[in-house]
Structure 1
Amino acid sequence: MTTSTGTDAGLVAAEDVLLFVNAAITATGQREFRSTAYEQQLSLDFLHEYVRVNYRRVYAAALALDINDHNAALIVRGLLEHAADASAEERRTEGRLIAARLAKLPPQRVYRLFRALRAARVNNRRTRAIMRDWLAARPDPAHDAVKYRSGLKTAARHVHLRFGGTGEPDETGDFLFRPGHRTSYRHGLLDAWRRAHYEQGAVEELPFTVAEGFAARRGMKREVFLERMAPRMTRLERLRTLGQRAAGDDARLPADVDLTVMPLTRLALYVLSLGFEARSAHRAELTRALRTAARRAAGPHAGGWGRVAAVLDDSYSSSGSGEKRRRPLAVALACHFLLEALAAPGAYTPLWTSGRTDPLLVRPWGPTPLGTRVLDALELGPDRLVIVSDGWDNAPPGLAGEVLRVWRTRLDPDRRTAVVHVNPVYDADGFDVRRLAPSVPTAGVRDAEDLPALVEIAGFAEGRTGAAALYAYLDRQVARFVSDDGAGAAS
């Protein structure tokens, strides 16, 4: 990835890259605490177009980073819609990146992307080849025909896909395009869908999301339906239903789900969905599960960060929005347990903005006195200070930035304490995550599990390593991503 690195233009380009990466990690186009969904979408659309036009190779390289699925799909669409703007070499690299990223995306997201490409009349040869390759790699077309019927139907029409082979019955094609043509299907799932229209027992043979619709039409009780469908639910579907089964203080932990295997941030969201009494009653189980997930996320970095202090934002704004309910607080809670695992044994100090000391009972409440908490943390003399906040320092406003400026310029110019700010909220007005101080690197964060990698990316924002190091890092990530043989199709 060649670009000017020894000039002001190179530094500006590096800043633009970091800005886009932060947005691609945190922004999903949904409503946030301080901005509407429309403002989020408008800001994100502008940023995507700006980076695609000015830094196309960087734009494509972002597919190799830990960006969220929403932005990954937007990048793929942008690259395919504007394929004529790329050179032959760029198209080859982009094709490999797109294929690798699509294999990691949830299939419903990919089918949604294919529908958008068809609606936008993107019908070039490369697009059709990418769609055909992805469809060919799906393990069971009949399963997709039942679970993602409209998506598969649209994609098949767009690429003129033929189902079945020589001498094989075209059951999937008949199911999609000639409903009612067959009185029965040899494939069990296709036939279960047919029978489910008049036979209640067949509903339980269908994928969970499809069976939900039939159950609702038949008036089945939700609790009974979930119990019967448990053996056929995927792990992620079980996790998604936990919140529905965990309302109130008298909630019981599910016996059919092993909390210790849940991803850290998703587990934190589940814990916060429980009432205070439920959290207290199951304190040992929940804490053990959170610490197990944190140690798994820390991996080889466990215990290697020395003395760590954390300022964790549990102010009212951490409640998020209707679309992202309590997500900022969940990220802070997950980071708390992850930082505990990353720090040397007994060398971790958490400081919540509310002053609470029990992480399991945190709730979004009160103002955001970041400055005071940052002062408390720096007085401990840690090797590393991590601030997890949306950056709205308001008690009093601007104190955290001034404390960090004085600390960096006068008290610790040699950077004995590494300071990093991770922000889970995209600021639509600023086209970036909100920063606390120019002297402190800020990285966007969506899942706490990505914290070690994000700290590395945030280090480029300090300007000490130079733009060349950032582009070399992106090149390494692209090479690793496209050569990852373990990347399979998402189920």
Structure 2
Amino acid sequence: MTDTDTYADLVAAEDVLLFVNAAITGTGQREFHSEAYQQQLSLDFLHEYVRVNYRKVYAASLALDINDHNAVRIVRGLLETAAEATAEEKRTEGRLIAARLAKLPPQRVYRLFRALRDAKVNNRRTRAIMRDWLACRPDLAHDAVKYRSGLKTAARHVHLPLDDETSEAPRELGDFLFRPGRTPRYRLRLLDAWRRAHHEQGAVDELPFSVAEGFAAQHGMRRDAFLERMVPRMTRLERLRTQEQRTTDGGTELPAGVDLAAMPLTRLALYVLTFDFERRSRHRVELTRALRAAARRAAGPHAGSWGRVATVLDDSYSSSGSGEKRRRPLAVALACHFLLEALAVPGAYTPLWTSGGNDPLLVRPWGPTPLGTRILDALEHGPDRLVIVSDGWDNAPPGLAGEVLRVWRARIDPHRRTAVVHLNPVYEADGFDVRRLAPSVPTAGIRDAEDLPALVEIAQFAEGRTGPAALHAYLDRQVARFVNGGGTDGQGERER
């Protein structure tokens, strides 16, 4: 912080960090300590507050690793309030929105377009953004079959030309969406497969899996036989979901045809936690190998560069999450464990779970949260970095973690030889932020472990040593990188 920073600058910087933490962790769903309506009201307030007071920062958040839920809300907020933006802001916002929409799952984008239509947002910029996104879709026939209602709504809203007599494809799409039954057969393969699937079982195999499921049930096809035939047409996540279902019914325990090591790290950790202890133990070698390979990929150029690392990982009962986010906090902690192992110098990594367990593959949500005791144990190892992954509900005894960290910073390590950061995967609705352990320790929200290196960088701004100017310079760099095709801070587009 410099002498020229005013009080207003510092407040603005705190507001920015608070919103970024909320946009990373909050999804409007129920958490262990708060209900869904509390989450939604809290996010509603934050979005409006930041959009009205810091519109430039609000738009710049699209360039960070915020979650898809909040990215969609930001896009909608910017488009609904276009009249409040200057011409220069509109140009920057348009580039950010286009770059973010390209990384969102298509079903979310189509839902956004429907919401914009329902809200009667029909300005020229909105229509241009929607047309550009549709023009970049790799296969509109696929979208017409899989997201028929969404594409139909978007095409009508932006007046997409689907009656061009000089082009067979647009005319057939128009007939398929708006004049069903008029065309006896389609030249576009997917459209015709959908038509034939109403009365031919053989055509079902040609459709996307999610569409084919409905036709399979209609024809009374045996589930096992259907799934076996559809494997080549399933996405990786569809294979995993059907494999989990078949495992429950006594099928094979690891998915055939899926390279687990190629999965995103946090997604893989969530999948591992769906197995019971017996299955995890039986497949220990394969699962551990896959988790470490995913962690090395996520670490990238940072692998082995963080020196001696100690981490306190929360596997207390509250890490079970909620019905909507089942075991999500625990999965983030498990993924962070393997990523931090890859980031540390080989042989210089010390993991400490709040339960006292020492087998990461067999973690489960259990017991209280003795963060203070575990932090003391971690600091005794003299690490270069201490990373705490927890929802921040220190309760055994309450407040010990904050006191340990305060005394450590004030009396034992005032020169900050050990860098300490707290990563919290849970948004606290009442506080409009993630729960913090101590004012002297920077806290950042985390949703995917793959974002950990970037979030540690963001967390430094919360320490108050870098100043608001450095924070805004950082945001400007991320915006420039994002709109020029560099992706977000993390590992690019991931399955969320």
**In which range does the TM-score fall when normalised by the shorter chain?**
over 0.9
CA 1:61–1:336 in 2, change beyond 3 Å: closer, same or farther?
same
What pairs up with 1:355-394 in 2 under 5 angstroms? 355-394=356-395
2:314 corresponds to which residue? Answer: 313
CA 1:250–1:384 in 2, change beyond 3 Å: closer, same or farther?
farther
What pairs up with 1:77-476 in 2 under 5 angstroms? 77-163=76-162, 165-169=164-168, 170-247=171-248, 252-476=253-477
2:23 corresponds to which residue? Answer: 24
Q: CA deviation at 1:238?
A: 2.4
Q: What secondary structure, in the 3-state scheme, does the structure 2 residue paired with 1:309 have?
A: strand
Q: Could you tell me how far apart the structure 2 residues matched to 1:358 and 1:427 are? A: 29
Q: Could you tell me how far apart the structure 2 residues matched to 1:235 and 1:254 are? A: 10
Q: CA deviation at 1:486?
A: 7.7
Q: Could you tell me how far apart the structure 2 residues matched to 1:249 and 1:195 are? A: 34
Q: Could you tell me how far apart the structure 2 residues matched to 1:489 and 1:298 are? A: 16
Percent sequence identity over aligned pairs: 82
Q: CA deviation at 1:143?
A: 0.8
CA 1:234–1:45 in 2, change beyond 3 Å: closer, same or farther?
same
Structure 2 counterpart of 1:277, which letter?
A: E
Moved beyond 4 Å, runs of 4+: 248-251, 485-491
Q: What secondary structure, in the 3-state scheme, does the structure 1 residue paired with 2:350 have?
A: strand
Q: CA deviation at 1:30?
A: 1.0
Q: Could you tell me how far apart the structure 1 residues matched to 2:286 and 2:194 are? A: 39
* CA shift digits 1:251-303 (9 cap, x unpaired): 52122111110110000011000111111011000000000000000000000
Q: What secondary structure, in the 3-state scheme, does the structure 2 residue paired with 1:108 have?
A: helix
* CA shift digits 1:69-92 (9 cap, x unpaired): 111000000000000110010000
Q: TM-score, normalised by structure 2?
A: 0.95
Structure 2 counterpart of 1:467, which letter?
A: P
Q: What secondary structure, in the 3-state scheme, does the structure 2 residue paired with 1:286 have?
A: helix
Q: Could you tell me how far apart the structure 1 residues matched to 2:166 and 2:254 are? A: 51
Structure 1 counterpart of 2:94, which letter?
A: G
Q: Could you tell me how far apart the structure 1 residues matched to 2:249 and 2:398 are? A: 36
* CA shift digits 1:333-352 (9 cap, x unpaired): 00000000000010000000
CA 1:301–1:98 in 2, change beyond 3 Å: closer, same or farther?
same
Structure 2: stretches of 5+ with no match in the other structure: none
CA contact (8 A) 1:251 1:274 kept: no
CA contact (8 A) 2:111 2:150 kept: yes
Q: Could you tell me how far apart the structure 2 residues matched to 1:486 and 1:397 are? A: 40
Q: CA deviation at 1:60?
A: 0.1
* CA shift digits 1:317-338 (9 cap, x unpaired): 1111111111100000000000
Q: What secondary structure, in the 3-state scheme, does the structure 1 residue paired with 2:32 have?
A: coil
Q: Could you tell me how far apart the structure 2 residues matched to 1:425 and 1:31 are? A: 10
CA contact (8 A) 1:331 1:448 kept: yes
CA contact (8 A) 1:247 1:275 kept: no
Aligned residue pairs total: 488
2:5 corresponds to which residue? Answer: 6
Structure 1: stretches of 5+ with no match in the other structure: none
Structure 2 counterpart of 1:21, which letter?
A: V
Structure 2 counterpart of 1:160, which letter?
A: H
- Alpha-carbon RMSD across the aligned residues, in angstroms, is 1.8
Q: Could you tell me how far apart the structure 2 residues matched to 1:154 and 1:326 are? A: 36
CA 1:5–1:18 in 2, change beyond 3 Å: closer, same or farther?
farther
Q: TM-score, normalised by structure 1?
A: 0.96
Structure 1 counterpart of 2:342, which letter?
A: A
